[in-house]
Amino acid sequence: MTDHTVDDKLGRLTLLTKLWPWLFLLALIVFFEAWAQIEVGRTFLFSSYNIQAILLAASAPLLLALGQTFVIITSGIDLSVGFVMGLAAVVVAQITLISGNTEIALFIGIVVTLLVCAISGWISGTLVARLGVPAFIGTLGMYGVARGAGFLSAGSGMTISIDNPLLEWLGTGWMPIIVTGLLLLVLHFVLSQTKFGQYTYAIGGNLQSAARAGIDVKRHLIKIYILSAAFAGIGGIVYTARYAAGAANAGESMLLDSIAAVVIGGASLFGGTGNVVGTLIGALIIAVIQFGLIFIDIDAFWQFIAVGVVIILSVLIDQYKDRLLRGA
């Protein structure tokens, strides 16, 4: 029965490597709460303002990270999401203004924006899936294209201001968080319960096996890059709603945050693993670090170091987890 106890110990260790993002997030919150109570005499967590601020800070990179999760599970990467988000932020403002800035105009603006993003994703996906371009290079190309197109669409001012009541409503208070939360639930369902999700994992696990099992791998990959670009587009629309202005560089800083969130959440860049809930935790960890360090008045540049360390840590834990499994 020694076999069983070894198995149990291994099971607990594996569980620990799976749960660590949750535990780490909890530890971060406890740390900031303690610091805030002791040093400043204020609460960190038990304030709806703080919670809202953290969730708002998490929601934009999270929208990019949700699509990115699917891409990374297939062992790809989408470097274009940041500037596709910026392009979307500008396009939704421009098209809504051109169409008369009414409610229907906003609807047209959103549809056109998502279409533009879908085309961008279709190009990325076609490059990767049908033309055999490595994802890193193909999406780097689209990074450049979206970046240029975003700034060109914005004109000389780089940002397009827009005053639209419906759009403002979408961007105020808890709305961006609610929108992100609903989309998160949808993608969690798709990834964990549907054939689309199952095939995403299968492709990441072994592309050739998936193809031999009769899965149309190329089409599936193209759909995934379209999904990723569409979520970047939604991120851009939410950005414009929040700030009443679209900026071509809206998502520039969020590309790496989106990849970091996915990786911290337990996905491997080699593909085959990862999930939506993990990505949510990853995005929350980053947002809590960023907001928390500002809250306790530590130089903002420390947040880059902190997030960087967490990324390295999560990859090391992921490798350790794999060794545990192999050794089993």
Partner 1 sequence: MTTPVLEARPILEARNVSIRFGGVEALKKVSLRVAPGEVLALAGDNGAGKSTLIKVISGVYHPHEGELFFEGQPLEMREPQDARTKGIETIYQDLALADNLDVGSNIFLGREPMHRRFGVNVIDRAHMRKVARQVLDRLDIVIPDKKLTGPVRTLSGGQRQAIAIGRAIYWDARVLIMDEPTAALGVPEQRKVMELIQGLKAEGVAVILISHNLHDIFGVADRIMVLRRGELAGERLVKETDGDEVVRLMVGDEYAATKSAAHV
Q: Pull the structure tokens for residue 320.
A: 């350790």
Number of neighbours of residue 19 by Cβ within 10 angstroms? 13
Residue 294 makes CB contacts below 8 A (sequence gap 6+) with 300, 303
> At its nearest, how many Å lie between partner 1 and the CB of residue 15?
12
Helix axes 276-295, 2-35, angle to 10 degrees: 30
> At its nearest, how many Å lie between partner 1 and the CB of residue 289?
29
* Among 49, 208, 299, 301, interactor with partner 1 by CB under 8 A: 208
Number of chain residues interacting with partner 1 (CB under 8 A): 25
- CA proximity to 236, closest of 116, 96, 92: 92
* Among 202, 232, 238, 283, interactor with partner 1 by CB under 8 A: 202
Determine contact, residues 124/139, Cβ cutoff 8 Å: yes
Window contacting partner 1 (CB under 8 A); options: 50-58, 152-160, 161-169, 206-214: 206-214
Q: Pull the structure tokens for residue 130.
A: 């049908």
The site map against partner 1 for 179-198 (x = CB under 8 A) is --------------xxx--x
Site for partner 1 contains 13 (CB under 8 A): no
Site for partner 1 contains 303 (CB under 8 A): no
Site for partner 1 contains 11 (CB under 8 A): yes
Beta bridge partners of 159: 247
Q: Pull the structure tokens for residue 152.
A: 């060109």
The site map against partner 1 for 258-277 (x = CB under 8 A) is -------------xxx----
Which residues of this chain interact with partner 1, rule CB under 8 A? 7, 11, 193-195, 198-199, 201-202, 204-206, 208-210, 212-215, 271-273, 325-326, 328
